[in-house]
């Protein structure tokens, strides 16, 4: 079992920036911690699209996953645009496939985690995102909280919360691929 963890953005592409937060830094920190837990706690082999602050094109991210023939592709992002909470995305029309089953498992696990903090579950969604369309294996994209919403940002600024979130994402991935 091999999983690709994709830390969104990087290098000259900071992603969403607000409240002193940069999406690219948050996704990298999360990705490294998720990888650590998946390997040390669950014995799952992890590949990362990036392990440092560098720009990687969407094409190259997908290529890395497809070339390595990983079993699951998980792209980490943080939202912006004035909302609150978390949501997950798969490619449109895939609900009835393995991709949909894995989304349900991972999403539900995270929803329960977020409930403890009264953080809103925005639902399981579908979108024609590049990394979802071109990956040859089940793929999911997670939007963990809004950097431009003060309440959400205060969670993302808390290193203890962020580490716990990584632990829960890893647990959720483990359940999704089990």
Residue keyed to tokens 């990584």: 166
Q: Could you say which of 23, 87, 143, 168 is catalytic?
A: 143
Residue 16 Cβ vs Zn ion, minimum distance, rounded to whole Å: 6
Nearer to Zn ion, 64 or 78 (CB): 78
Angle at 4 between CA 174 and CA 168, to 5 degrees: 35
* Residue nearest Zn ion by beta-carbon distance: 77
Q: Is 95 buried (19+), middle (13-18) or exposed (0-12) by CB count in 10 A?
A: middle
Q: Strand pairing partners for 73?
A: 4, 139
If one asks whether residue 171 binds Zn ion (CB under 5 A), the answer comes out as no
| Among the listed residues 4, 5, 7, 8, the single contact to Zn ion using CB under 5 A | 8
Q: Evaluate whether 168 touches 109 at the Cβ level (below 8 Å).
A: yes
Q: Evaluate whether 149 touches 16 at the Cβ level (below 8 Å).
A: no
Chain residues 10-49 in contact with Zn ion, contact rule CB under 5 A: 15
Stretch that binds Zn ion, among 1-9, 41-49, 85-93, 109-117 (CB under 5 A): 1-9
Site string for Zn ion, 61-100 (x = CB under 5 A): ----------------x-----------------------
How far is the C-alpha of 86 from the C-alpha of 95, rounded, in Å?
Answer: 19
- The answer to whether 23 is a known catalytic residue is no
Nearer to Zn ion, 44 or 80 (CB): 80
How far is the C-alpha of 30 from the C-alpha of 152, rounded, in Å?
Answer: 16
Enumerate the active-site residues: 143
- Interacting residue ranges for Zn ion, rule: CB under 5 A: 8, 15, 77
């Amino acid at each position: 079992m091999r999983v690709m963890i994709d830390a969104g953005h990087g290098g000259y592409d900071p992603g969403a920036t607000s409240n002193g937060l940069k999406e690219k830094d948050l996704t990298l920190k999360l990705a490294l911690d998720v990888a650590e837990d998946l390997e040390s706690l669950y014995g799952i082999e992890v590949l990362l699209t990036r392990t440092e602050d560098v720009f990687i094109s969407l094409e190259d991210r997908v290529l890395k996953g497809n070339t390595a023939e990983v079993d699951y592709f998980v792209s980490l992002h943080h939202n912006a645009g004035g909302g609150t909470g978390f949501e997950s995305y798969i490619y449109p029309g895939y609900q009835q496939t393995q991709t949909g089953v894995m989304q349900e498992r991972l999403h539900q696990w995270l929803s329960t985690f977020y409930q403890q903090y009264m953080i809103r579950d925005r639902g399981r969604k579908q979108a024609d995102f590049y990394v979802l369309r071109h990956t040859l294996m089940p793929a999911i994209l997670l939007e963990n909280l809004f950097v431009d919403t003060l309440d959400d940002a205060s969670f993302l600024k808390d290193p203890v919360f962020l580490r716990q979130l990584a632990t829960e994402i890893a647990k959720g991935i483990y359940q999704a691929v089990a």
